[in-house]
Amino acid sequence: MQRSFDVSAPVELEVRLSSGEVTIDPSLDGRVEVELTAHDDDSQRLVDEARVELQDRSDRPRVIVEVPQKRGGFSFSFGRQGITCRVRCPEGSVVTAKTKSADLTVRGTIGSVSFTTASGDLDLDRVSGGVNAKSASGDVSAREIGGDVSIQSASGDVSLEVVRGTASVTSVSGDVRIDEAYDDLNANTVSGDQKHSAVMRGRVAAQSVSGDVSIGVRRGSKVFLDCNTLSGDTSSELELTGDAPDGDGPLVEIKAKTVSGDIQITRAPAPAANTMEVQQ
């Protein structure tokens, strides 16, 4: 199935697909193209019943892609079974997607993303706005997020290269990695490890039960540390004093707490030459 719609601006894209994969390419000006491909007979019947439509609204056009769920039996999610949904749309469009096991991949710059899934993975390139993701076992990865982040996962790993807004990440057994955090950061894990390679400013709260916590502080930032662990080890590369931090750099308040996990505070490496810095 193929559908196309002429639009004059970025759209709101809503996708509902139980199993398979969703790929979004936000690089098409003035048009939205939707392609649904079935890889088995049962999935073809679902594609034939799919709802793909454009709703004109005064603020922003909405494109809905809704594929019904398979009735009874098991969901197809292996090999070339299931359904592939490919969407091309204008840059800056916002995406809302709900799946059971289908993965969502976005290449290019999207406006914002809201993703709810049981076991599907979320893979993002650049998001100018915020990201909200809820998953049981799916992994979440992103290259750069310009807005706020809220991620809740039971066993999935979270890997974010750059987050420019506030970040709130919760995972039970999955690992959490954030390479660069420019604002407040709150991360909670039970057995998953945490690695925050470069925090810039704001409040950083990292809590884990048995997972290790590693936090790197970017050079030039002032630091206040409050670290506590029951049976784990705590180490710091920073020079620690009992006096209030001085200097003109941004202040980072770090509160790290574990039960048996280790806590490590490091000095973050200098940013790469092509890293875009936030204006002070």
Chain segment 53-102, per-residue pLDDT in tens: 999 877 789 999 999 987 654 444 444 568 999 999 999 999 999 999 99
Q: Are residues 265 and 138 in the same domain?
A: yes
Q: Are residues 89 and 135 in the same domain?
A: no
Q: Are residues 138 and 90 in the same domain?
A: no
With H, G, I as helix, E, B as strand and everything else as coil, classify residue 102: coil
- Domain assignment of residue 114, yes or no: no
Where in the sequence is the domain holding 265, given as residue range(s)?
A: 130-270
Q: Which amino acid is at 85?
A: C
Q: Are residues 237 and 134 in the same domain?
A: yes
- Domain assignment of residue 214, yes or no: yes
Distance, C-alpha 267 to centroid of its chain: 25
Which residues is 207 bridged to in the sheet? 188, 257
Backbone angles phi, psi at 46, to 5 degrees: -70, -40
Long-range contacts of 4-8 (CB under 8 A, 24+ apart): 4/31, 4/32, 4/33, 4/34, 5/31, 5/32, 5/54, 5/61, 5/63, 6/30, 6/31, 7/31, 7/32, 7/54, 7/61, 7/89, 7/90, 8/61
| C-alpha distances out from residue 257 to 125, 163, 175, 204, 260, Å | 31, 22, 16, 11, 10
Q: Which residues contact 197 (CB under 8 A, 6 or more apart)?
A: 177, 178, 179, 180, 214, 216, 268, 269
For 149-185, the pLDDT digits (tens) are 999 999 999 999 999 999 999 999 999 999 999 999 9
- Domain assignment of residue 18, yes or no: yes
Residue 68, CB half-sphere, CA atoms under 13 Å: how many? 12
Query: What is the total count of domains within the chain?
Result: 2
- Domain assignment of residue 29, yes or no: yes
With H, G, I as helix, E, B as strand and everything else as coil, classify residue 46: helix
Q: Are residues 83 and 139 in the same domain?
A: no
DSSP state of 87: E
- Domain assignment of residue 277, yes or no: no
At 77 the pLDDT is 43
For 29-60, the pLDDT digits (tens) are 999 999 999 988 889 999 999 999 999 877 78
Rg (CA), the chain: 21
Tokens in use for 248?
A: 């003109």
Q: How many CB atoms lie within 10 A of CB 7?
A: 19
Q: Are residues 149 and 261 in the same domain?
A: yes
